[in-house]
Amino acid sequence: MQTSRTFLKRTRAGAVVKVVREHYLREDISCGAAACRRCTPCPAGPGRGLGLEAQPRGAASSLCPGPHYLLPDTNLLLHQIDILEDPVIKNVIVLQTVLQEVRNRSAPVYKRIRDVIQNPEKHFYSFTNEHHRETYIEQAQGETSNDRNDRAIRVAVKWYNEHLKKIEDEEKIQVIFLTNDRTNKEKALEEGITAYTCEEYIKSLIANPELVDRLACVSDEGKEIESGKIIFPEHIPLSKLQQGIKSGIYLQGTYRASRDNYLEATVWVHGDAEENKEIIIQGLKHLNRAVHEDIVAVELLAKDEWVAPSSIVLQDEGQNEDDIENEEEKENILKTSVNKDMLRPTGKVVGIIKRNWRPFCGMLSKSQIKEARRHLFTPADRRIPRIRIETRQADTLEGQRIIVAIDGWPRNSRYPNGHFVKNLGSAGDKETETEVLLLEHDVPHQPFSQAVLSFLPKMPWSITEQDMKYREDLRHLYVCSVDPPGCTDIDDALHCRELENGNIEVGVHIADVSHFIRPGNALDEESVKRGTTVYLCEKRIDMVPELLSSNLCSLRSNVDRLAFSCIWEMNPKAEILKTRFTKSIINSKASLTYAEAQMRIDSATMNDHITTSLRGLNKLAKILKKKRTDKGALTLSSPEVRFHMDSETHDPIDLQTKELKETNSMVEEFMLLANISVAQKIYDEFPEFALLRKHPAPPPSNYDILVKAAKSKNLEIKTDSAKALAESLDKAESPTFPYLNTLLRILTTRCMMQAVYFCSGMDNDFHHYGLASPIYTHFTSPIRRYADIIVHRLLAVAIGADSTYPELTDKHKLADMCKNLNYRHKMAQYAQRASVAFHTQLFFKNKGVVNEDAYILFVRKNAVVVLIPRYGLEGTVFFEEKDKPTPRLNYNSEVPSITVEDTTLCVFDKVKVNIILDASNIQHQKIRMVLVEPKILGNDVPADLSTEISSKSEPEKKKKKKLQK
């Protein structure tokens, strides 16, 4: 049967047009109940689910003891998705009306419900009510689309109950309507439908009282919980906010809470305007219930109300959530007199444009009141406010890492309301803490789904005639790989041989991952979502399934592998005469570690093909490196640590900084050369669609700290160009202080900007500052970086080895992809640092007090940041203590130095510190460092001086990002 649907649509120009669409109605759509003989059995298809059980075996309910299916409305599905995901809840009918509304209102919830429908153990069924002849309804005159959809849901419930009565079975199956909408429930009851709120139904589940904790705390129709005085101003409605932003009354931006001061935040204003780019928000009422990463509307305050960023550390430690006077006292501390030059644009949050809430990891701060059900949850991320939850499991959850979701934040509540989602395990446990750091850094780490794995090659796999078609057979070459010990995902291999004409042929051979991952399939979509492999201290979260990463793509020795090769003909001066790119087949003759390769190069007795090849590569690499540094490429330093693990407990038993060999540099040189050669090729071929990588030059002010630090040692650092910087770093040597040059290079790294991916058609600044290269990309690590896969696809099209596809030549889609890849790389870096920090804590846990040499890297107003070379560890020694008299402090920003009582400490001074693990706060354990030499008078209680470990999950300043090639 054919009908038509009419609706109004607004065009881009703002006009309203009437749209009429044909709408087909059918009678053969299955109800999904396994016991129903009247319906044609419905094949399980994508998005439909396996269907409802013949005899529903859900949780026993005191309200509806008989067999029943559940049918939720839209709002219930949006707000109570945690409940619906619980294994206890089965046999749920999800209507097309509900799915469409959820899709329009929340993409994350829509994805979650689709995943639940696909889970065969849950027996969720998606019923296409909008195309069923007996359940489709027209919108009545004067009826809102919301009311029409509510009516359509009730019609479907009634139809189901009538339909299921006809099943010839002793026990009739009932359909229970679940809604939290009071009006909808009343109408359903009037129409003879059995309807309950989610809370009523969940509380009726006899054997599952713990499910009550997972109920989202949503007040009916958005009304706030009454009682209690109003703390916060009302949020302006979205329609008025949008008008205000258009007219310039309000500014729209991303809200970034402070990690160190819970009464302060910054809003980064969207758009290209240069002024008021960053707005400070101070004080509880001005923060007005915004949460880190929300998109907010801000009103600027008058200039006489502007403030300066506070240098005070304030953690929210109050247990009494009604103690607002105490908050006002703390706000007054922030308003100390400041220099007028320090004042910054200041504003207040007037409304929320988009909430960016996610599930938060943390711990329960149990209420002091006996048998209380309301408790405060303290998130692991200090930028997130505490969350009030109701739970009966407080005794069980104490000392556990748990996940909590925010439900809402009423005006009369000091903290947002939320609900318990999941218990992750005991705090301090290695598995639990790894799970927490992956969740907190938004690292996708769930096992690969069947849909993804279905696109992997069938085993046993071998190279076919078809694979050979567009490939060069390079299996005769003496190719080898050089990697860190234990590496199984080998991306790259090299060869070098002398040609008859006296020139040298050098090849970089990269795993041909794009042969196995084809555009647009589930494997490709999962890989782009992950963006990068994440390397933790004891765990690797792969970007692609292990069959590819450690087997079929990995260029292991003595097996045939598909590769993408970049081959140069060079003269002995390492000048490139010819470059060619080809898809190839290789057979690596050796998988070496850096140490093994170095040993071969240095050995007087080894002269086999592989060793000769390595010596040739090493010789050329030294010439290439000299050419790069002559052009102004920077050689920076960043201490990397390696843990040695106990083979049984897997706890770290030793901690050392990684030693770099000549062979590390050799491999790096050829990877850089391949990346530059490929970047030039894809840009020449696709000037609008090349995926490139740039490294912006730092603003001059970033170098202030470096220049002052060098000056304090009578050294001059020039920063007007990368070349000048590289040359002055090379000259900055001190015969009496050999480690000084390394310290200067570490400090220079902190001044750098972050390197980023971008699409050539959307940018005109391509320069890579750190490498002194006019163009650069990533081609050499496609097993662990998705950017390289796109570059491989572009290069394959450029040389005629593969066909293109629409998304590859869409610069807007490529720009969006770059944004996601930059985010994923940044979060992977933070997760890796957090993993190092956690394993460092484990290492020092049983060490007691450790005494070590350290160097001062930075001087602060009340502290010094020190680096311990032996462990590559950084920490802050504070000179102000809680509940202790503050010593006389005199800070000199020009030198930079700090005088504590009568002892002056300068940048790069060598000191001795004690290192201790402070586990007093189980959620935020930290390494404390205490100054032992030089001894400061009146400072005899070193164990109480505290530190923050440097490997925190995010740098303090955006500017001071590590240079990442």
Residue 950 confidence (pLDDT):
40
Q: Which residues of the chain have pLDDT under 50?
A: 220-226, 940-964
Beta-carbon-side half-sphere exposure of residue 207 (alpha carbons within 13 Å): 6
Q: Buried b / exposed e across 392-427, counting CB within 10 Å, b at 16+?
A: ebbeebeebbbbbbbbbbbeebbbbbbbbbbbbeeb
Amino acid identity, position 419: H
DSSP-derived 3-state class of residue 277: coil
Residue 2 confidence (pLDDT): 57
CA separation for the pair 598, 517 (Å, rounded) = 35
Q: What is the DSSP letter of 962?
A: P
In this structure, is the dihedral angle defined by the CA atoms of residues 353, 359, 360 and 363, taken in order, positive or negative?
A: positive
| Residue 904, strand partner residues | 899
Give CA–CA dist 437/423, Å, rounded. 15
- Read off the tokens for 543: 């970007």
Query: Within a 13 Å sphere around the CA of 700, how many CA atoms are in the beta-carbon half?
Result: 4
Q: How far apart are CA 490 and CA 563, in angstroms?
A: 12
**HSE-CB for 302 with a 13 A CA cutoff:** 2
What type of residue sits at position 358?
A: R
pLDDT confidence of residue 644: 59
Which candidate, 488, 714, 742, places its Cα nearest to that of 636? 742
What CA–CA distances, in Å, run from 548 to 542, 563, 588, 877? Answer: 10, 13, 17, 46
Whether the Cβ atoms of residue 422 and residue 402 lie closer than 8 Å to each other: yes
Cα dihedral 595, 601, 605, 607 sign = positive
CA dihedral 743, 745, 750, 752 (to 10 degrees): 170
Amino acid in position 831:
A
Task: Compute the half-sphere exposure of residue 43: CA atoms within 13 Å on the CB side of its CA.
Answer: 2
Cβ atoms within 10 A of the Cβ of 388, count? 22
Maximal CA-CA distance, the chain: 96
Q: How far apart are CA 335 and CA 263, in angstroms?
A: 12
| Alpha carbon distance 849, 945 (integer Å) | 13
- Looking up tokens 């006002």, which residue turns up? 328
pLDDT at position 828: 94
Structure confidence at residue 226 (pLDDT): 45
Q: What is the rounded CA–CA span in Å between residue 391 and residue 492? A: 53
Report pLDDT for 825: 94
Give bridge partners of residue 70 from the DSSP assignment. Answer: 92, 176
Contact at 8 Å (CB) between 237 and 245?
no
Measured CA to CA in angstroms, residue 510 lies from 141, 225, 561, 619, 818 at distances of: 65, 61, 10, 22, 22
